[in-house]
Amino acid sequence: MKKLLIIFFFLISIAPTKAQQIFLNYGKIEFERKLNVHKEMEGDSWLDNMKDKIPQYATTYFNLYFKDGKTLYEKGKDSDVKNSFFGNDDSGNDDIIYTDLNQQTFVKKQSVFEETYLLSDSIRKVEWRITNDTRDIAGFECHKAVGKILDSVYIIAFYTDQITTSGGPLSYCNLPGMVLGVAIPRCNLTIFATKVELVEPKPDKLVPPPAKSKMKKVNYPTLLTTLQNSIKDWGNYGRKRVINFML
C-alpha cells in the first residue's frame, strides 16, 4: 500500500510538467538576422579605420510561416538601426524562399546584383551531426546540430522538436524539428528566432513566389556556376560573395 501511494504522488508531481509540453504544427516565427560588419571589414587597413563610424551589426528581420509541411521565408519588419555600409543590410532582403518538405523541393526568388533569379531545385543535402548541447531560443529548448555546405562552410543550427515541421530560416531543414537558430561563423552571420506565434497561415501565403518575365530560371548548380564565372576575377572577395549568395 505504501509503495502504491508513493507511485501515485510521483505521478501527480510530474503531471503538470507533461501538460506544459506544447507541440506546434503551424505558426509564424520572427527571425533576427545579424551580420557582424566589423568582422567583415577585418584584414583591410582602410576599412579598419572606419569601424568607429558605423554600427557593428547590420540587423534585418524575416518571418517564417509554416503549416502542413510547407514553409515560406520572407522579409519582416524594418530594423530600428540602419547600416547601409556597402549595402550589407540590404543583401537578400527581398528574397523569398518557399519549401515543400513533403516533396523535398524549394523555390527561391533571389536578387543577385542587378539580376533576379527564380531558383527551383530539390532541397540540398546537409549531413547534420546532432550534439548533446542545448540552448533556449524564443522560449523553446533547442538542440544543437552541425552541418557543412559548399565543401567547407560550417553551419551551426539549433532546432526544437516542439515544433513538428522540420523547416527553418533560409533553406536549412530536415532536422527532427524546426530550426530556430543558425550561425555561420565563416560569414559572420547569425539568424535567431525572437518570437513564435500560433498564427495559422492562409493558404495563399504558403505558395511559391510567382515567375515573372524578367526572372532568370535556374537550378542550384546552374546558379552556382553562373556566380563563379561572373566574379572569378574578384579574388577572395568574389569567393565570399558567392558563398553569401548560396546560403
Mean predicted confidence (pLDDT) in 36-62: 77
Amino acid at 193: A
> CB-based contacts of 42: which residues, under 8 Å, 6+ apart?
48
Note the helical H segments in 35-88.
37-41, 45-48
Give the Cα separation of 190 and 170 in Å (integer).
12
Q: Mean pLDDT check: name the lowest of 174-183, 194-203, 227-236.
A: 227-236
pLDDT at residue number 6: 38
Q: Mean pLDDT check: name the lowest of 20-24, 39-43, 83-87.
A: 83-87
Which grid coordinates are listed for 224?
552556382
Q: Is the per-residue pLDDT at 10 higher than 50?
A: no
pLDDT at residue number 113: 83
Give the Cα separation of 37 and 86 in Å (integer).
10
Q: What is the CA radius of gyration of the chain?
A: 21
Q: Is the per-residue pLDDT at 89 higher than 50?
A: no
∠ CA 41-61-63, rounded to 5°: 140
Percent of the chain with pLDDT over 90: 59
> How is the chain split into domains, by residue range?
21-218
Q: Mean pLDDT check: name the lowest of 92-96, 125-129, 193-197, 198-202.
A: 92-96
Mean pLDDT of the chain, nearest integer: 85
- The architecture CATH gives domain 21-218: Clam (2.50)
pLDDT at residue number 2: 45
Which grid coordinates are listed for 66?
509554416
